[in-house]
Amino acid sequence: MWEDPIVAEVHRAREKLAAEYNFDVSAFFADLRKRQTSLGSRLVPPKKRAEPAAEAERDRTSGSPGSTSSSEAAPAA
């Protein structure tokens, strides 16, 4: 069977990284968070998400494309 060299490289990198943290996902992410903290303001902050209730209210008042009402329904042919 043919082996994709890029996929094989990704698998090797994953295995090496997992072995560095003794295959402990919690340890990996703890180190990742520590590294992020040390970078401080060099990272781009994540976008703030709108509140779900506010988003639902906005959709109802704006007539979003996903909403349908009896007046918007296409006539039967």
Domain ranges of the chain: 1-40
Q: Which residues contact 66 (CB under 8 A, 6 or more apart)?
A: 59
Checking if the pLDDT of 74 tops 70, the result is no
Helices (H), 1-77: 5-20, 25-39, 52-62
Confidence of residue 9 (pLDDT cuts 50, 70, 90): very high
* pLDDT mean over 38-57: 77
pTM: 0.48
Q: What is the pLDDT of residues 10-40, one digit of tens each?
A: 999 999 999 999 999 999 999 999 998 888 8
Residue (of 18, 15, 19, 12) closest to 3 by Cα position:
12
